[in-house]
Structure formats: C-alpha cells, structure tokens
Copies of this chain bind each other. A is one copy, B any other.
Amino acid sequence: MGQIGGSLDAFIGAVHRRAAVLDNEIELVCGVFSQSAEKSKQTGKALYLPDDRVYTSFEEMILREKELPEGERMDFVSIVTPNHMHFPPAKMALENGFHVICDKPMTLNLQQAKDLAQIVEQTGLVFGLTHNYTGYPMVKEARDMVRNGILGPLRKIVVEYPQGWLSKDEEHNDYKQAIWRTDPARSGAAGCMGDIGTHAENLAEYITGLKIEELCADLSTFVPGRQLDDDGNVLLRFEGGVKGVLHASQISNGEENSLKIFVYGELGGLEWHQMEPNTLKYKTQEGQRIIRPNVGNNSAAAKAHIRLPAGHPEGFFEAFANIYRNFAFAVKAHMEGREADPLYDFPSVQDGVRGLAFIDTVIASSKDDSKKWTKFVE
C-alpha cells in the first residue's frame, strides 16, 4: 500500500495506517504524506520507509511505483487527504492500474463522484471507501438481522450523530482539522453534513438495505463567521413507505462522537451506539436481548469481523481494519482472478456517489422553503 496524505500531524493518516496493518495482510511500502516535501520525508522516516519510496507528489508516486516490478511496487493507494484532494489522485491511480481505497466523503462534489464511479467501472479495479462505521461487527449483525426479516418489514429509522467539537470558533484557533473541515474549498459544499451526516446516511442505508427517496432538511450554522453548516436536522422518507429522522451536529456541546441508530419494524427493533460498539440491543414487546460479539450465536457476517473472545472490547481501529482487510481480500481476489467473497464487504464507489448526492440534496432542501420534500437524486 502507498499512502497519499497523512503526515505525522494529521489525525486520519495514522488511523488508516494502523487499520491497514492490524491483520498482517497489508504493508505500507511507500507514500507521499504531505504537500511539503520536508514533512513527507520526516513522516516516511518515522514510518521506517526507505527514502526512495517517499515521494514529493502523488503523480510522482504513481508513475515511479508503476515502473517497479510487480510484487515490489505498491498494490493499491490509500487516499487520506482533505476532500478536495481525493478525486485527482484516485483518478490517476486507477488510470495507472492501481486499486484505490479512499477516505469519505469520496470527492469534493457529486460530478466528481459520478466521474470516479465511471472510471472504476471502466478500469474494473477495486475501489473502497472508508465509511468505517459499517465495519463494526454489531453493525454487520444488525444488517444481517434486518435482511433475515427478524424485525419484519421496517417502519421507522432514527439515526443521530451529535458531536460538540466545533461548538466554538475552532477554525480561528489554529486547529488544523477545524480549519479545513469548515473551508468549502477543501471540504465541499457541506460541513457537518459532509463530514458526519454522510456517515449517518450510509449507516442507515447499509443496515436497512433501504434507500432514501426524499427528504426535508433544516441546516444551520450556529458559530458566527463559520462558512459551512455545523448542524442539521432532516426528515427522511425511505423506499417502501419507511419514515425516518437523521440529525447530525458538531455544536452539540459535550457530545463526543455519539453516532446512534434505531431501526423499528413490525416485529422488533434494534439499537446501536458507536461509543459502545460491542452492544446491539434487540427489542420486541416481549423483552430486550443484548447481542454481543462472540456471545452465543452471532451471524456469519458478524463472526467474520470479530477477532477476540467475548468481553474483550474491539473498537474504532478494529472496525476500520475490517474495511481495510476486506478491501485487501478483494484486491487479492482481483489479482487471482477470483470473485471476492461477499461476506467480506466494504463500502463501494456507489456508496460514495450516494454520499455526495445526499450532501447536494440536504443543501437544496434546506435552502428551499417553498416545498417540503426534495427528491434524492443521484
């Protein structure tokens, strides 16, 4: 794997690296970690990479690696730059024969997303998107239960994602994360809704297998001077008459990273919280059952994503690593000319397109008070 972005002072770069190596299926062999050649070099050194595999631009990396013999050159690139720098390297990597795994939201805008989807299709290469929350075993279990009809036909979905870290004007406090995330040029048209609203949207669609058909959004920017939304409340209508609510926030003071989902059907309900990810609550009018990794009979889907015995908590890195490992399995299958095993799923370029479409739809809806419902069009 070659990494684009993720210098030592970036948060998400190290997350991807740790996730990549956890299962001993992936090795970091090269990278361009920063626009600053100096920073990139330092990072490469700290990562024990040889100097000649630390590059100064993604173009250089892709072209130089391509010249290396197979088996030695990187097999895929991992893109962990700010959003505006996802599309160019992804496109170039794919066009030069490298598989790609990329942070979310997938691109800066919907057009790029659609273009990328086309390139992926044309090249036939493997593309993965790190909607990492779908990598949790209990999320797999939840999806499996819905698929198997344990909840009956669905009726209602509530997904919420409050954070509080942008409650103040952090972008003027020299806080790197805050600066780019609130900058439309680097983050895209949405702030909170792009960063975490898309996670919520993806999680809801992933677990339920249902697509949002229309929505009604009310986005806000509470912190004076901020350029993008920092809070949003959305009514959802899914296919099949299923109703829903999605709300996300980065000004919910005192909240950490509190992604939660509640799914209700004719026969039962489910509840899952990202901050206690190893507990899935399954509720019916007859009572509540606590579902936990490696306690009793987990689904095959969950089992394939658990590494430890009951009561040994796996967390954020392990869920992230599940995305990477599954992506690696697909790359391997591709190399060997096999179909990848669908048990080891991971978010696709189509998920990425839906994420960008979600961003466009909530913004359009929020701006328009003249009608209640805005169609979700990819």
Contacts and interface: CB of A to CB of B under 8 A. Distances in A.
- Oligomer copy total: 4
A311 B196 CA distance: 13
Interface of A: 11, 14-15, 17-18, 21-24, 28, 47-48, 151, 155-156, 158, 160, 162-165, 167-168, 216, 218, 220, 222, 231, 233, 235, 237, 243-245, 247, 249, 251-258, 262, 264-269, 274-278, 282-292, 295-297, 307-318, 368-373
Contact of A254 (B257, B284, B312): B284
Given A156-B252, A158-B160, A368-B372, 11 more contacts: A164-B264, A231-B243, A253-B269, A256-B295, A256-B310, A257-B312, A258-B311, A275-B313, A313-B315, A315-B317, A370-B371
A305 to B, nearest CB: 14
B47 A253 contact: no
B24 A47 contact: yes
Contacts of A21: 21-22, 24
Could you say which of A168, A244, A245, A291 has the most chain B C-beta atoms within 10 Å of its C-beta? Answer: A245
Contacts of A282: 254
A317 B316 contact: no
- Classify the secondary structure of A's interface with B: loop
Contacts of A155: 220, 222, 231, 251, 253
Contact of A314 (B220, B312, B316, B368): B316
Nearest to A218: B235
Contacts of A249: 156, 264
A160 B253 CA distance: 18
Contacts of A288: 254, 289-290, 292, 295
A295 B285 contact: yes
A46 B120 CA distance: 30
A18 B22 contact: yes
Given A289-B287, A296-B286, A313-B316, A307 B18 contact: yes
Contact of A244 (B233, B255, B277): B233
A93 to B, nearest CB: 23
Contacts of A277: 313
Contacts of A290: 287-290
